[in-house]
Amino acid sequence: MNGRKNGNKRITLKMIAKIVGVSTMTVSRALNDNKHVDEGTRRKVRETARELGYFPNYIAKSLVQQRTQTIGVVVPEIAHSFFAQAVKGVEEEAWERGYQIMLTHSAEDTRRETHGARALASKMVDGLIVSTAESGSDVEFFKSLIKGGLRLVFFDRCIYDIGASCVSIDDVDSARRATEHLIDGGYRRVAHLRGSLALSIGRNRLRGYRDALAERGVPADDDLVVETAIHEHGGYEAMKKLLALPEEKRPDAILAVNDTSAFGAMMAIAEAGLRVPNDVGVVGFYNDVRADLMPTPLTAITQPAREIGKIAARKMLAHIEDDSLPPENVLVPTELIVRASSTRDAGSSPAASI
């Protein structure tokens, strides 16, 4: 049979019922594998539906069920391996539960984030999983979504205390441990390439860095805290600023807000004729696949992106199943992976290398 025998009209249950010679209700039950329809009828209905090119009208179905079986996902970047892996985790968990995802990215821009989230909400997704943009987020907008009944879960970069769950690592403790590792390794002028203070990771990793200095009795120096954009060029430019300080004030170690900014910092260090780690130690966040492949492998705090995505999806599905569940902040464990970039006399790279 030709699936478009009725021109461009959408194939309906009523059309299938007429061809098979049963009621529309029987067709619906057969397509939903209802055991009260005999196997012969179910098989004939399914074969006819397949030949006609029928597919369910999920919009109509969602009006009945008050669910669309879809979850919206908003990420700052698609190409970044952390977010790619996190989205993979969300999709895998959603698929196992019969849900599809709809994805958009903000390109680290507040307006695009709001526009994308609003577009997904207008498509009646059952909930939104969001990691916020570097330029900051419209908190009142997200509050309005929650007030309007939309379920919301943040991951990695979170907005707290607005009635939404969040899945992240303990950024404060992780930054503290990373900074203490550098200090305990003999570095004394530890600088921090911090993220935007509009981001939870920027604020919390800065706090952890400062806590470590205080706990180890190392004087804080505001000149050693420089904001970086969260990419290689940002880290490169931020490191150049630190290297332009008078020699006695220059850092001998760097805690970078993420691996990509750490890679950029390492390029600037090499260009200055300095060596990693003997002249400048470096630690990043995430444990990017490139970390172990650098000429001087990068020490990093792990962020299990795929697992974070899976947990965020599970949390979202739990909220979908039970609207009475209170919001929860879930912390995913991390590990400090120590490599050559933070260990003096452990095979530092030549000055011409990263």
pLDDT (tens digit, 0 to 9) for every residue of the chain, 354 residues total? 334 444 456 788 888 899 999 998 898 788 877 888 889 998 898 899 888 877 666 555 554 455 689 999 999 998 889 999 999 999 999 999 999 999 999 999 999 999 999 999 998 899 999 999 999 999 999 999 999 999 999 999 999 999 999 999 999 999 999 999 999 999 999 999 999 999 999 999 999 999 999 999 999 999 999 999 999 999 999 999 999 999 999 999 999 999 999 999 999 999 999 999 999 999 999 999 999 999 999 999 999 999 999 999 999 999 999 989 999 999 999 999 999 999 987 444 433 333
Torsion angle (degrees, nearest 10) of CA 85, 87, 92, 95: -170
Angle between helical axes of 24-31 and 39-52 (0-180°, round to 10): 90
pLDDT at 349: 41
Choosing among 1.10.10.10, 1.10.260.40, 3.20.20.330, 2.60.40.1260, the CATH entry for 13-56 is 1.10.260.40
The CATH class of 69-169+305-332 is alpha beta
Say which CATH architecture domain 171-303+336-342 belongs to: 3-Layer(aba) Sandwich (3.40)
Domains of the chain, residue spans? 13-56, 69-169+305-332, 171-303+336-342
Tokens 């962020």, located at residue: 303
pLDDT at 217: 97
What is the layout of strands, in order, in the sheet containing 127-130? 100-105, 70-75, 127-130, 151-155, 165-169, 329-332
d(CA 125, CA 127): 5
d(CA 55, CA 10): 9
Which residues 6+ apart lie within 8 Å of 326 measured at CB? none
Q: Structure pTM?
A: 0.81
For the record, the structure tokens of 82 come out as: 């952390």
For the record, the structure tokens of 205 come out as: 């990793």
Residue 34: strand, helix, or coil: coil
Burial class (CB in 10 A: 0-12, 13-18, 19+), 143: middle
Calculate the alpha carbon distances from 143 to 110, 129, 184, 201 in Å: 15, 14, 43, 20
Handedness of CA 260, 266, 269, 270 (dihedral sign): negative
Residue 175: strand, helix, or coil: helix
d(CA 205, CA 197): 10
Phi and psi angles of residue 6, each rounded to the nearest 5 degrees, phi first:
-100, 35
d(CA 64, CA 159): 33
| DSSP 8-state assignment for residue 144 | H
pLDDT at 346: 46
Query: In three state form, how does the secondary structure of 300-325 look?
Result: EEECCHHHHHHHHHHHHHHHHHCCCC
Same fold, 69-169+305-332 and 171-303+336-342: yes
